[in-house]
């Protein structure tokens, strides 16, 4: 048995209620849902983090997440809105180290909250700080022409 529950599900070693399966990605119901209809979209191959994910699989994951969101709205399940959530790394609340997108149906009074730190509403970085952070990220981007060509600063 592997150490990844999502790989075990995809290999048929663990049960799952699938919403979608294709050659790149699968979508199945979360067994610990925030709300009824909570779906996980995962790549079929093990990629722990977002940066490990091949472009085609990432694009397909988002396409499937979008379709699942549309299906949730039409399903008759309680759904007034949708949250897409990606936790990338344990500090970011990633519990299963297999890249995945949560598609979470939301409705008024459902009780689910992401909390901001106490500083969130009071700290506004100066423009030079934002520009400096943007430059550091821009310089660290992988050499991907479709990102570089759309970079307004270059």
Question: What are 71-127's pLDDT values in tens digits?
Answer: 999 999 999 999 999 999 999 999 999 999 999 999 999 999 988 888 877 888 889
151 inside domain: no
| Mean pLDDT of all residues belonging to the chain | 90
Residue 24 confidence (pLDDT) above 80? yes
Considering the domain boundaries, does residue 56 fall inside one? Answer: yes
Q: How much of the chain, in percent, has pLDDT values that exceed 90?
A: 75
In a domain, 44, yes or no: yes
Q: What is the spatial distance between Cα 47 and Cα 69, in angstroms, rounded to a whole number? A: 23
Evaluate whether residue 85 is within a structural domain. yes
Q: What's the pLDDT at 28?
A: 97
Catalytic sites, residue numbers: 100
Q: Report pTM.
A: 0.86
Does residue 75 belong to any structural domain of this protein? Answer: yes
DSSP bridge pairs for 15: none
Average pLDDT score over residue span 66-72: 97
**Where in the sequence is the domain holding 9, given as residue range(s)?**
5-106
Residue 129 within any structural domain of the chain: no
The values of phi and psi at residue 57, to 5°, are: -65, -40
At 140 the pLDDT is 81
Q: State residue 115's pLDDT score.
A: 84
Q: State the pLDDT at residue 147.
A: 52
Residue 119 is predicted with a pLDDT of: 82
Q: What separation in angstroms does the CA of 110 have from each of 93, 115, 129?
A: 20, 15, 37
DSSP 8-state code for residue 116: P
Residue 27: count of CB within 10 angstroms of its CB: 24
Task: Answer yes or no: is pLDDT of 149 > 80.
Answer: no
CATH number at residue 98: 3.30.428.10
Give the chain's domain count: 1
Residue 152 lies in a domain: no
Would you state the structure tokens that stand for residue 111, as one six-digit string? 């009780």
């Amino acid at each position: 048995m592997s150490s990844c529950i999502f790989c075990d599900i995809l290999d048929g070693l663990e049960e799952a209620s699938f919403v979608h399966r294709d050659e790149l990605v699968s979508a199945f119901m979360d067994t610990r849902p925030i709300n009824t209809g909570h779906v996980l979209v995962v790549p079929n191959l093990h990629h722990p983090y977002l940066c490990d994910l091949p472009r085609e699989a990432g694009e397909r994951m988002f396409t499937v997440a979008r379709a699942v969101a549309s299906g949730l709205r039409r399903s008759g399940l309680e759904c007034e809105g949708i949250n897409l959530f990606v936790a990338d790394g344990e500090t970011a609340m990633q519990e299963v180290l297999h890249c995945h997108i949560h598609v979470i149906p939301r409705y008024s009074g459902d009780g689910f909250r992401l909390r901001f730190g106490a500083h969130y509403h009071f700290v506004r970085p100066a423009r030079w700080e934002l520009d400096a952070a943007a430059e550091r990220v821009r310089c660290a981007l992988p050499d991907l022409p479709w990102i570089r060509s759309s970079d307004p600063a270059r």
